[in-house]
A and B are shown apart, each in its own frame.
Chain A
Amino acid sequence: MVMRVTQQSLYGSVIRQNNASLSALMATNLQSSTQKRINAPSDDPNGASVVLNTRTNMSELTQYQRNIDSAEGWLKQSDSTLTSVSTLITSIKAYAEQGATGSVTDANREEIGSAVRQYFEQLISLANTSYGDYALFSGQMTDTAAFEQTLWMNSNDTAFDTQVEAGGGFTIQGDTEATILVQFTGTDTVGHQPAFQYSTDGGSTWTNGSYGTASAPANQQMVMGGVTIEMADGALDAVTACADEDDTEGTWMWIRPSAVYKGNSNDDITVTGANTNVTGTATGDFSGNVMVRMDDTSGSPCIYSYSVDGGTTWVGNQTSGAVTATSITMAVPGGILEIDPSTGALSDGDQFFIQPSTADVAMTVSPTDSVVVNGVGKDIFGGIYNDEAVEIEGSVEGNLFETMGKLIGYLETNNQQGCQEALDQIAASQEHLLTVAASVGARENRVASADTMVQNLYENSNTTLSNVEDADLTALITTLAQQELAYQAVLKSSSTVMQLSLVNYI
């Protein structure tokens, strides 16, 4: 194509072409200095978005790594504590065996008793182990020591025990360094103050007991030196008098050490009718608060929705169980809610807040797994909670602290048969403890495998990031060389063209 080339277009295009070559060179230069292909969102909008999301993901995984380190620390500490406790129990078992043999004298039993008492205190301090500043076995009350030593009572008379429980239990005040053995010497169903005697030296010497002023009108307070025990009138009516100091047919009481649990537990579940008078109860194993909303109460069954994230999102169209005049049951994640429509006016829109007591300290160790790193002391070691002896798997036999306390009581009061009973129960509590230790071990394994998984995920994300973001170094260097060559070529040809002019020849 024949075209008229003018000075302006000549110089204009020289400048334009130089600029184009140079700016391409500069862009490649920027990539090689940052080693990245994406230096601004406009370089690759989709890639920029992937880069941001991946970086967030990697940061989250790093945080999980920190959680894993914490969880490992907690669980290791629990593990070693439980191992120590088990060793302790084995030593105590040996003592209990000694105490249960007939060939041991009273004085020996007393010595064994004082040794076991020391072990008891050691047991309490082990149960109060903390990791850093956090108590391991207090549930979520990690700033509180799990157990505190206290005094408790057990007797040899089951009828008496039943009456004590029916009367609302007992309260002990005061302190003693040795087990107090109480024997009722008479009965009194009128004044509710049967005569009794007590001994603080294992039955060698006896003192007559007296009654003090009870705090409630239907109670009686027995005074035994520095210790008082208060119980209902009905309990004292059920005692049997002892003929003499060796009469095992009468009612005897041992007041000996035990441990009371000061942390919190996972047991109780409260149901609040949020905007209604209808009451309800919930059963199950809830890990957090659940809200339930009645959407359609007209038919049978009812339609309801629930929310596990504080009301932000609701899962709807759930069908309840059969509707009766006094009960509607609804299943939610964690358990069952049962409401009683006869207690109020139930209408559409009524909401119920299920508020379980939470004692688990859970840590998220991977995108899909979280691990409970603490324990509820009373469910492991027993002791006293809510003013009664804790039942482990339905019986008091697995209650370690109670068994220990009874053993101390029997040893210090020279009761061979009692020691034998205690020895049988110790086996049960040790077995329970080993189960708990196994569960801690299993959790440690979970954390270890979460560790591996998180590390793998991090590697993966890092690779993805690199694939999207990083510049290919070899290709970059080749391109750089190419563009440099192109720029030089443009400069050369431009300078050749610029030098040609008719002025040189005229």
Chain B
Amino acid sequence: MAGISSILSIGQSALSATQTCLQVTSNNIANVDTDGYSRQSVVLKDGYYVSGSPGQLGSGVIAQEVVRAHDSFIEAQYLQKLSARDRFQALYNGLSSVQNLVNESNTKGLNSSLSTFFDDWGDLTTYPDSTATRQTMLDDTETLLSLYRSMADSMNQMEDEINEAIAADVDTVNALAKDIADINAQINKTEVEGQNIPNGLYDLRDQKIRDLSSLVDVNVIDNGKGNVTVNTNAGQTVVDGMSAYEFTFEPGKTVRQMTQASKTAGSDAQAYYDGKDSSEYTLEVVSGGTVGAGATFRVSLDGGKSWVKDDNGNDAVYAADDNTAKVRVGNLDIWFGTESDPDTTTASTTLLAGDKFTLVPKKALYWYTTAGTPVNVTPQQYADGKDNAARLTGGALAGAFLFRDESLGDYQNTLDAMANTMVWEVNRIHSQGSGLTAFNSVQGTYSVADPNVALGDPTSGLTFSSRLASGAAMLYAYDSAGTLQASGSITVDPDADSLQDIVDKINDVANPVSAYLTASIVNNQLVVSGAATTSSFRFGDDSSGLYAALGVNTLLAGSSAEDVSVNAVATNNTDYVCAGHVGLNGLLATGDNTTALAMTALENKNVDFYVVGKGTDSQTLTQYYSSLVSDVGADTASASYQLSYQGALASQLEEQQLAVSAVSLDEELTNLIRFQHSYQAAAKLISTADSLFETILGLKN
């Protein structure tokens, strides 16, 4: 009896086990196209053994658990490649937009505009007094400058857009981290090891981790069940079991690293800044002292590996002062205050050599520790191209940040340097010449912050203060008939003379032109006007660069790519375009083309470009722009190459993972037939047992 009923129970166990197998197989077939679904299979175990007379007899089959096919080793490699691929994807996307801005292969752009500008000045050398030629030159100049402005504008827009994209991605990262933590909690609740494995939850968690790795680089440590820790490659925890950590995208925070001695002294100094830049500025105090009384510091743009140099190749040293004397370093105005108040200093606002401040003048990525301390994880690249391993290095976020800070920021600085130098060099030539009409009154286009600070001092607020040299500048005064009344020169010493000093020198009785001219300061700008309504004046040789720096008798105004424009004085009256110069006895000959000739020579002259942290470049304007274009091209080509390389690796790994965990219809269909036969065989067992019973029951009759 035991034998026959055991056949029944064996048959029954076979039936239910086969049914389970069929169910799992049909689930696999149904999910053949589901993303992230891992093929499931049933683990069959033979039933317990009973000791009987002939020995141990089995009791059928048990469908023990459903497991999924998944290779975690391949998955770990795949996650790394996914991060790398998406980093370069984000970088490439950004770079191709920038490339579109500078792509002149099949259209006209900034290069051809610049070329037209110089060609127009070439035409002015043969027709110096022609109004039509002058007007054409002014129109073409305006076209050139509007290209600068629109390029700068587009780059700014790209920056805004990438910031928005980053903000959205950071929100996604935080949401994913929470989801993973939730899934971990659920896994912990539902899993019973060896019996009940929540395969669907595991698949979901793997999918979420993949999504996370495409945004940030991840390192997964699996301690079984829901105890999975996800860290970034630099070590920050994103998810630890059931708790999720947060990233925020917010304006940069200044980091204070005071020396031990400074801490003991109780210093409350803090560095402040105005402006924004794409690099992080590390300030290190060189000589200590109180703020405003001798303390100096040097600046590094790559975290302290190399320091910004001055013209002689030595570390540039700046004076640490309070907010009344902000020092311009690169794109920032820097000053010091107390920790609580940027506008005051106290007796304990002291600095000692070795104190460090890191300014982050941009929106940055922060990770918060459990204690609530923010850690700066914004991706950073050193000058040699290596990534800062203590920060984020992979994923779309890293790509976006590197695009914004290293590439886009670089290009913006280069374009600004080009605009700055072009304005200076053109004005330097133009301001020493003379137009067809003399001036009755002129106001400079550049202002100072304080008319009593020496013009060459970085705290004067004058944009071109660093380009002034020691020398003198000529002035010529005329009467209403156009006859020269007097000519005189004013000496300029940029280290000693402030704007007020220059005004005083022009008005000084000892200066022959002072009887015919009055100089004054309006809106912190230089104003020169004739003493009588019939007096007029012209400008001449200037070895100091004073006129170009103050913006009198200039052609261009502005100093960066966003704000270059044509000086309104010239646009209103083409006679003020200087093609000639003041000759013998104040003569302005209409056929004089000396200034126009000098301007055309500028096209092939090597001039200096300054980008902070990169030293001085000496090239022609055209060459500088074409090397910018070539840089953008090279960066884009490199990103594209990396993208396809990493992409190829990533898809290979994906193939390998799919080979393990995806559903093959042929296999499942075969399994379907197999389990069908097994079911039929199991059913046969039942019917066999049934006929055996019948036989035994039939024995009595």
Contact = CB atoms under 8 A, between A and B. Distances in A.
Contacts of A445: none
Contact of B655 (A9, A52, A59, A143): A9
A431 interface: no
Interface stretch (A231-239, A309-317, A477-485): A309-317
Interface stretch (A81-89, A105-113, A186-194, A355-363): A355-363
B76 interface: no
B636 A56 contact: no
Interface stretch (B285-293, B412-420, B438-446, B620-628): B620-628
A36 to B, nearest CB: 6
A142 B659 contact: no
A432 interface: no
Contacts of B217: none
A374 to B, nearest CB: 7
Given A67-B125, A364-B122, A141 B589 contact: yes
Interface in A3-58: 3-9, 12-13, 16, 34, 36, 38-46, 48-53, 55-56
A275 B491 contact: yes
Contact of A52 (B32, B111, B673): B111
Contacts of A138: 591
A13 B28 CA distance: 21
Interface in A486-506: 501-503, 506
Given A142-B591, A307-B543, A506-B673, A289 B581 contact: yes
Interface string A259-286: 0000010001010101100000000000
Contact of A501 (B104, B474, B663, B665): B665
A293 interface: yes
A43 B640 CA distance: 11
B53 interface: no
B102 A41 contact: yes
Given A48-B630, A311-B544, A358 B636 contact: no
Interface stretch (B1-9, B362-370, B597-605): B597-605
A385 interface: no
A446 B622 CA distance: 29
Interface string B209-233: 0000000000000000000000000
Contacts of A245: none
A55 to B, nearest CB: 7
A62 interface: yes
Contact of A41 (B122, B594, B636, B654): B636
Contacts of B96: 42
A309 B99 contact: no
* Chain A residues touching B, range: 35 or more
Contacts of B118: 60, 63
Nearest to A287: B594
Contacts of A430: none
B662 A6 contact: yes
A367 B601 CA distance: 10
A410 interface: no
A288 interface: yes
A59 B112 CA distance: 8
Contacts of A501: 665-666
Given A140-B592, A142-B590, A274-B472, A52 B104 contact: yes
Contacts of B111: 52, 55-56
Nearest to B114: A56
Interface in B647-664: 651, 654-655, 658-660, 662-664
B545 interface: yes
Contacts of B129: 142-143
Contacts of B625: 52
A219 interface: no
A38 B105 contact: yes
A120 interface: no
Given A6-B663, A59-B115, A60-B115, A53 B623 contact: yes
Nearest to A141: B589
B105 A3 contact: no
A480 B123 CA distance: 46
A48 B99 CA distance: 12
Given A264-B587, A288-B594, A70 B658 contact: no
A63 B119 contact: yes
B119 A274 contact: no
B26 interface: no
Contacts of B105: 34, 36, 38-41, 48, 51, 469
Contact of A9 (B103, B114, B541, B659): B659
Contacts of A364: 122, 125, 597, 600
Contacts of A288: 594
A119 interface: no
Interface in B662-691: 662-667, 669-670, 673
Nearest to A362: B597
Contacts of A211: none
B659 A4 contact: yes
Contact of A293 (B116, B543, B583, B666): B543
A40 B99 contact: yes
Contacts of A362: 125, 593, 597
B640 A42 contact: yes
Contacts of A311: 428, 469, 471, 541-545
A8 B636 CA distance: 32
Contact of B123 (A3, A66, A312): A66
A147 B229 CA distance: 97
A41 B116 contact: no
A9 B662 contact: yes
B115 A55 contact: yes
A36 B106 contact: yes
A70 B540 CA distance: 29
Highest count of chain B CB atoms <10 Å: which of A38, A53, A71, A270: A53
Contacts of A206: none
Interface string B574-593: 00000011011001011111
Given A5-B664, A70-B126, A41 B633 contact: yes
The 10 closest A-B pairs by CB, nearest first: A41-B633, A142-B591, A274-B472, A6-B662, A140-B589, A45-B633, A275-B491, A311-B543, A357-B584, A49-B630
Given A3-B659, A357-B584, 15 more contacts: A6-B662, A7-B665, A8-B33, A9-B659, A39-B105, A45-B634, A48-B633, A49-B627, A56-B115, A59-B116, A140-B583, A275-B472, A310-B428, A312-B425, A370-B597
15 contacts: A8-B662, A9-B659, A44-B633, A46-B630, A49-B629, A59-B116, A63-B123, A66-B122, A142-B590, A274-B471, A310-B598, A353-B543, A361-B593, A363-B126, A501-B665
Interface of A: 3-9, 12-13, 16, 34, 36, 38-46, 48-53, 55-56, 59-60, 62-64, 66-67, 70-71, 134-135, 138-143, 264, 268, 270, 272, 274-275, 288-289, 291, 293, 307, 309-312, 349, 351, 353, 355, 357-359, 361-364, 367, 370, 374, 469, 501-503, 506
Interface of B: 32-33, 96, 99, 102-106, 111-112, 114-116, 118-119, 122-123, 125-126, 129, 425, 428-429, 432, 469-472, 474, 487, 489, 491-492, 540-545, 580-581, 583-584, 587, 589-594, 597-598, 600-601, 603-605, 622-623, 625-627, 629-634, 636-637, 640, 651, 654-655, 658-660, 662-667, 669-670, 673
